[in-house]
Each structure stands twice: as structure tokens, then as C-alpha cells.
């Protein structure tokens, strides 16, 4: 998916919502556990209920990898179900020496055909470069995350700048804003001013609004661009809005509510 296609989808739906499919067998409605593929049945219902209100789905691969081969199969079936006009993100946080990253890129971009993948930049640009060799595919680099542990490394000073600043500046040498996004947590909204200084036109994938307590209004205030430039991820607050037979309807209501709030900024 190109950047312009993503922007068009945002304008069409008046939403920049990304729904996180962090599907946990211990949290989905119990009546689904009797089905042949509970993960897929849950995801299928969630996608059908929310696809009109979001522009992206983020599949956290850990929840699928934890189930072994069957989990990978559920993920592949889920991915195939997502409409082609919706950006698909593999939240896999890959990043390794060149040959290994080549294989990761092949797996997620060629074999599974995701539009984007999250990347860990710790090993440097040569560990990220293979992902940017694919046309119309996105690398989403971890910059300033919403967890408390971000203070351990990301917010440490390197000379006169934070490490997350250095990561953003250095990674921008690898790819243009048509292929490169950054992960920035919603729990640190004022830091978006610093981030926009180095990445003024890049899209930012923003977790932390909803269950983690981040504020949509604050994120928009400090992070929005003329092209919106934001994908607000919500996972638990949408997909687990109910654990009963009405779980899909509850998810739809929550997604619609967030999309309506977002429409005020478009």
C-alpha cells in the first residue's frame, strides 16, 4: 500500500484508527473455544464488525506464534480475510544482521504479504535496510515506546540528544516517508514535538490510546500533520469490549466511537 492510498483511505473513512488483533485464547468469549479455530473465528467477527471504521489492522505475531503451527495458520487465514484497502501490519519487531533480515523480509512481505512490519533498530541500519528494498511496503521502526522501560534506553541522552532522536534521524537516511513510519507511544504526547522536528512528514503508529490511558486529543495536538500522519492503535479496548455473545457488536460500537472522535480532526 502506498502512502497516498493510506491517506485516501483515512479521508474516505474520516478515521485513522488501527485495530490491534492481539488475540488471546484466555480472553476471547468462551463459546468460541468449541470451534475448530477459535482465534480465526474471533478475528473474523472482529474484522467484519470494525472494517468500516478503521484503516489498518495490526496483528501482534506473538499471540499467534505462542500457539505453534496452528497459530501461524490462524494468522495466515486472518490476513487473507482483511480487505485490500486496509493496511496490514505485522507487529513482529524484527531486526537482525543482514542475511537474517533478508529472510524475515521475505517471510512477511513475500510469503505472507503484509503491507508493513514493526522493526527493532538496536542492531543498526544494516539490520533494517533489507525491509526497505520492497516497493510499497513499510518498515515501522520503534522510536519512543509507551512502556516504562523506554526510560532505560530510548530516553537516555547521547551527546546532546535523546537516543530515540538519534534513531529517528539515522533511520530517515534509509528510506523516505513513503516507506518509513515510527512507533511512538501515546503516553508521552509532548515528546511528539521533538519527534516531528526530525520526522515532520512521516506517519507515526501510536499505541497507548485506550487501555493504556493515552489521550487522542493530546496526540493530535502535538503529532498531527497536514496529511494526518497518525495511525492510532487500539487493541484491548476494542476487541475485548465484551467477552459475551455480543463481543463483535461491542467491538463495533467502540471502533465507531473512536472513529467518530477522530473525524473531528480530519
Contact predicate 130/98, CB 8 Å: yes
Q: Measure the CA–CA gap between 121 and 261, rounded to whole angstroms.
A: 33
pLDDT for 209 equals 84
Residues noted as catalytic: 93
Helix axes 247-263, 216-223, angle to 10 degrees: 40
Q: Measure the CA–CA gap between 98 and 105, rounded to whole angstroms.
A: 10
**pTM (2 d.p.):** 0.97
* Domain segments of the chain as ranges: 3-263
The residue length of the chain stands at: 266
Q: Measure the CA–CA gap between 156 and 163, rounded to whole angstroms.
A: 6
List of the chain residues with pLDDT < 50: none
Contact predicate 129/174, CB 8 Å: yes
pLDDT for 52 equals 98
Q: Read off the pLDDT of residues 152-168 as tens digits, 9 standing for 90 and up.
A: 999 999 889 999 999 99
pLDDT for 208 equals 82
Contact predicate 49/248, CB 8 Å: yes
CATH code of 3-263, in short, is: 3.20.20.70
pLDDT for 211 equals 59
Amino acid at each position: 500500500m502506498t502512502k497516498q492510498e493510506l491517506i485516501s483511505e483515512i479521508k474516505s473513512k474520516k478515521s485513522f484508527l488501527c485495530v490491534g488483533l492481539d488475540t488471546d485464547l484466555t480472553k476471547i468469549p468462551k463459546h468460541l473455544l468449541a470451534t475448530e479455530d477459535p482465534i480465526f473465528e474471533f478475528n473474523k467477527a472482529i474484522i467484519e464488525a470494525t472494517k468500516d471504521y478503521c484503516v489498518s489492522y495490526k496483528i501482534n505475531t506473538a499471540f499467534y506464534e505462542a500457539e505453534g503451527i496452528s497459530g501461524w495458520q490462524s494468522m495466515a487465514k486472518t490476513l487473507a480475510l482483511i480487505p485490500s484497502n486496509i493496511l496490514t501490519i505485522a507487529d513482529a519487531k524484527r531486526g537482525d544482521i543482514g542475511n537474517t533480515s533478508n529472510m524475515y523480509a521475505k517471510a512477511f512481505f513475500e510469503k505472507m504479504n503484509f503491507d508493513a512490519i514493526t522493526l527493532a533498530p538496536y542492531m543498526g541500519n544494516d539490520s533494517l535496510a533489507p525491509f526497505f528494498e520492497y516497493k510499497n511496503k513499510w518498515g515501522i521502526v520503534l522510536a519512543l515506546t509507551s512502556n516504562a522501560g523506554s526510560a532505560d534506553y530510548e530516553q537516555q541522552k547521547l551527546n546532546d540528544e535523546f537516543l530515540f532522536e538519534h534513531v529517528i534521524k539515522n533511520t530517515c537516511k534509509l528510506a523516505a516517508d513513503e516507506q518509513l513510519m515510527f512507533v511512538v507511544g501515546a503516553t508521552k504526547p509532548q515528546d511528539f514535538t521533538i519527534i516531528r522536528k526530525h520526522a515532520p512528514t512521516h506517519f507515526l503508529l501510536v499505541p497507548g490510546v485506550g487501555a493504556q490511558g493515552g489521550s487522542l486529543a493530546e496526540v493530535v495536538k502535538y503529532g498531527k500533520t497536514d496529511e494526518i500522519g497518525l495511525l492510532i492503535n487500539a487493541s484491548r479496548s476494542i476487541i475485548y469490549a465484551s467477552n459475551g455473545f455480543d463481543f463483535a457488536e461491542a467491538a463495533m460500537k467502540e471502533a465507531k466511537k473512536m472513529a467518530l472522535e477522530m473525524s473531528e480532526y480530519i
